[in-house]
Amino acid sequence: MKILKISLIFLFILGLTNLGHAQKLNCQRTLDLRYPTKTFKIDQLSRSAACYTGRKYEFILPLNQKYDYRLMFYASPVFNNDMKFTILDQNTGEKVMELKGESETGNKGTCVLKDYFDDGTGASVHPFFDFFPQSSTTLRIIIDITSIEQEAPATKGYIPPEVRQKGCVTVFIQYKEKEGGW
Protein backbone atom coordinates (compact mmCIF):
# COMPACT_ATOMS: atom_id res chain seq x y z
CA MET A 1 0.00 0.00 0.00
CA LYS A 2 2.88 2.36 0.81
CA ILE A 3 4.42 1.68 -2.57
CA LEU A 4 1.11 2.52 -4.29
CA LYS A 5 0.87 5.86 -2.39
CA ILE A 6 4.47 6.75 -3.19
CA SER A 7 3.93 5.84 -6.84
CA LEU A 8 0.81 8.02 -7.03
CA ILE A 9 2.61 10.95 -5.43
CA PHE A 10 5.52 10.51 -7.84
CA LEU A 11 3.17 10.43 -10.84
CA PHE A 12 1.35 13.52 -9.55
CA ILE A 13 4.62 15.45 -9.22
CA LEU A 14 5.76 14.24 -12.63
CA GLY A 15 2.44 15.40 -14.11
CA LEU A 16 2.87 18.87 -12.60
CA THR A 17 6.38 19.09 -14.00
CA ASN A 18 5.20 18.15 -17.49
CA LEU A 19 2.34 20.63 -17.22
CA GLY A 20 4.88 23.41 -16.69
CA HIS A 21 6.78 22.34 -19.80
CA ALA A 22 3.59 22.17 -21.85
CA GLN A 23 2.89 25.84 -21.14
CA LYS A 24 6.21 27.02 -22.62
CA LEU A 25 6.01 28.82 -25.95
CA ASN A 26 6.93 26.83 -29.01
CA CYS A 27 7.34 29.58 -31.58
CA GLN A 28 9.05 27.28 -34.07
CA ARG A 29 5.86 25.19 -34.14
CA THR A 30 3.82 28.26 -35.14
CA LEU A 31 6.17 28.72 -38.10
CA ASP A 32 6.09 25.02 -39.03
CA LEU A 33 2.28 25.21 -39.36
CA ARG A 34 2.52 27.75 -42.21
CA TYR A 35 2.17 26.65 -45.82
CA PRO A 36 3.31 28.60 -48.87
CA THR A 37 0.87 30.28 -51.21
CA LYS A 38 0.44 28.54 -54.57
CA THR A 39 3.51 29.10 -56.81
CA PHE A 40 5.65 30.24 -53.85
CA LYS A 41 8.20 28.35 -51.74
CA ILE A 42 9.02 28.91 -48.07
CA ASP A 43 12.20 30.95 -47.60
CA GLN A 44 14.56 29.51 -44.98
CA LEU A 45 14.95 33.02 -43.54
CA SER A 46 11.39 32.83 -42.14
CA ARG A 47 11.49 33.16 -38.36
CA SER A 48 9.24 32.91 -35.35
CA ALA A 49 10.53 34.19 -32.02
CA ALA A 50 9.39 34.74 -28.46
CA CYS A 51 8.80 38.47 -27.95
CA TYR A 52 7.63 40.71 -25.11
CA THR A 53 5.27 43.67 -24.97
CA GLY A 54 6.93 47.06 -24.64
CA ARG A 55 9.91 46.13 -26.80
CA LYS A 56 11.14 46.66 -30.35
CA TYR A 57 12.56 43.90 -32.50
CA GLU A 58 14.51 44.11 -35.75
CA PHE A 59 14.80 41.57 -38.50
CA ILE A 60 17.19 41.92 -41.45
CA LEU A 61 16.04 40.37 -44.72
CA PRO A 62 18.28 40.26 -47.81
CA LEU A 63 16.34 40.19 -51.09
CA ASN A 64 17.75 38.83 -54.33
CA GLN A 65 16.74 40.51 -57.60
CA LYS A 66 15.99 37.20 -59.33
CA TYR A 67 13.09 36.40 -56.95
CA ASP A 68 9.72 37.87 -56.05
CA TYR A 69 8.91 37.80 -52.33
CA ARG A 70 5.76 37.61 -50.24
CA LEU A 71 5.85 38.55 -46.55
CA MET A 72 3.19 37.65 -44.01
CA PHE A 73 3.22 38.42 -40.30
CA TYR A 74 1.58 36.55 -37.43
CA ALA A 75 1.44 37.29 -33.70
CA SER A 76 0.16 35.53 -30.58
CA PRO A 77 -3.28 36.68 -29.37
CA VAL A 78 -1.71 37.93 -26.13
CA PHE A 79 -0.48 41.01 -28.07
CA ASN A 80 -4.03 41.85 -29.22
CA ASN A 81 -2.53 42.95 -32.58
CA ASP A 82 -1.34 46.09 -30.78
CA MET A 83 1.94 46.59 -32.62
CA LYS A 84 3.46 48.58 -35.42
CA PHE A 85 5.46 47.22 -38.37
CA THR A 86 7.97 49.38 -40.20
CA ILE A 87 9.94 48.15 -43.20
CA LEU A 88 12.94 50.14 -44.39
CA ASP A 89 15.13 49.62 -47.44
CA GLN A 90 18.55 49.52 -45.82
CA ASN A 91 20.35 50.45 -49.06
CA THR A 92 18.40 53.67 -49.64
CA GLY A 93 17.09 54.41 -46.13
CA GLU A 94 13.60 54.73 -47.68
CA LYS A 95 10.56 53.75 -45.62
CA VAL A 96 8.81 51.05 -47.64
CA MET A 97 5.89 50.45 -45.29
CA GLU A 98 4.59 51.46 -41.88
CA LEU A 99 1.38 49.80 -40.73
CA LYS A 100 -0.35 48.82 -37.52
CA GLY A 101 -1.02 45.24 -36.54
CA GLU A 102 -4.73 45.97 -36.78
CA SER A 103 -6.62 48.97 -38.12
CA GLU A 104 -10.15 50.21 -37.70
CA THR A 105 -11.21 49.08 -41.17
CA GLY A 106 -9.23 45.86 -41.51
CA ASN A 107 -9.19 46.31 -45.29
CA LYS A 108 -6.37 45.14 -47.52
CA GLY A 109 -3.31 47.34 -47.18
CA THR A 110 -4.37 48.98 -43.91
CA CYS A 111 -3.00 46.50 -41.39
CA VAL A 112 -0.56 43.63 -41.03
CA LEU A 113 -2.24 41.05 -38.78
CA LYS A 114 -6.02 41.26 -39.17
CA ASP A 115 -7.64 39.17 -41.92
CA TYR A 116 -9.82 40.97 -44.47
CA PHE A 117 -12.61 39.87 -46.77
CA ASP A 118 -11.60 39.58 -50.43
CA ASP A 119 -14.61 40.31 -52.67
CA GLY A 120 -12.91 38.62 -55.65
CA THR A 121 -12.48 35.23 -53.97
CA GLY A 122 -15.32 35.57 -51.47
CA ALA A 123 -13.02 34.44 -48.66
CA SER A 124 -11.19 35.78 -45.65
CA VAL A 125 -7.52 36.47 -46.45
CA HIS A 126 -4.53 37.07 -44.19
CA PRO A 127 -2.66 40.24 -45.22
CA PHE A 128 0.44 39.74 -47.33
CA PHE A 129 2.95 42.10 -48.85
CA ASP A 130 4.66 41.41 -52.17
CA PHE A 131 8.09 42.74 -53.05
CA PHE A 132 9.55 42.68 -56.57
CA PRO A 133 13.13 43.93 -56.15
CA GLN A 134 14.71 45.38 -59.30
CA SER A 135 18.14 44.91 -57.72
CA SER A 136 19.40 42.97 -54.75
CA THR A 137 18.68 44.88 -51.56
CA THR A 138 18.19 44.42 -47.84
CA LEU A 139 15.04 45.15 -45.87
CA ARG A 140 15.09 46.08 -42.20
CA ILE A 141 11.85 45.06 -40.50
CA ILE A 142 11.13 46.81 -37.19
CA ILE A 143 8.37 45.35 -35.02
CA ASP A 144 7.32 47.63 -32.15
CA ILE A 145 5.07 45.84 -29.65
CA THR A 146 3.02 48.18 -27.49
CA SER A 147 3.32 47.73 -23.75
CA ILE A 148 0.29 46.77 -21.69
CA GLU A 149 -0.64 49.50 -19.25
CA GLN A 150 -1.95 48.75 -15.80
CA GLU A 151 -4.57 50.91 -14.21
CA ALA A 152 -3.10 53.00 -11.44
CA PRO A 153 -4.65 52.59 -7.99
CA ALA A 154 -6.14 55.61 -6.23
CA THR A 155 -2.77 56.33 -4.53
CA LYS A 156 -1.53 59.69 -5.74
CA GLY A 157 1.86 59.66 -7.46
CA TYR A 158 2.02 55.88 -7.80
CA ILE A 159 3.14 54.64 -11.18
CA PRO A 160 2.33 50.97 -11.64
CA PRO A 161 5.07 48.71 -12.98
CA GLU A 162 4.95 47.82 -16.63
CA VAL A 163 3.35 44.46 -17.35
CA ARG A 164 5.24 42.32 -19.85
CA GLN A 165 3.39 39.70 -21.82
CA LYS A 166 5.25 37.05 -23.82
CA GLY A 167 4.12 35.61 -27.14
CA CYS A 168 5.32 34.58 -30.58
CA VAL A 169 5.82 36.86 -33.55
CA THR A 170 6.32 35.18 -36.92
CA VAL A 171 7.81 36.68 -40.07
CA PHE A 172 6.77 34.25 -42.82
CA ILE A 173 8.75 34.77 -46.03
CA GLN A 174 7.94 33.15 -49.35
CA TYR A 175 9.71 33.47 -52.68
CA LYS A 176 9.41 32.44 -56.32
CA GLU A 177 11.50 32.98 -59.41
CA LYS A 178 10.57 36.11 -61.35
CA GLU A 179 8.33 35.43 -64.29
CA GLY A 180 10.12 35.97 -67.57
CA GLY A 181 13.52 35.85 -65.89
CA TRP A 182 15.35 38.77 -64.35
Over residues 115-139, mean pLDDT: 90
Higher pLDDT among residues 93 and 7, named by residue: 93
Q: Look at residue 47 in the predicted model and tell me its pLDDT.
A: 94
Q: Look at residue 172 in the predicted model and tell me its pLDDT.
A: 96
3-state helix, strand, coil in the chain (%, to 5): 15, 40, 45
Over residues 48-77, mean pLDDT: 95
d(CA 10, CA 15): 9
Q: What is the mean pLDDT of the chain?
A: 82
- CA-nearest of 174, 141, 140 to 68 is 174
Question: pTM of this prediction?
Answer: 0.77
Going by pLDDT thresholds of 50, 70 and 90, the confidence category of residue 109 is confident
Over residues 123-138, mean pLDDT: 92
Higher pLDDT among residues 105 and 121, named by residue: 121
Q: Which region, left, alpha or beta, applies to residue 93 given φ > 0 means left and ψ of -120 to 50 means alpha?
A: left
For residue 14, pLDDT over 90 is answered with no
Q: Look at residue 119 in the predicted model and tell me its pLDDT.
A: 86
For residue 156, pLDDT over 70 is answered with no
Full set of structural domains in the chain with CATH: 26-148+162-177 (2.60.120)
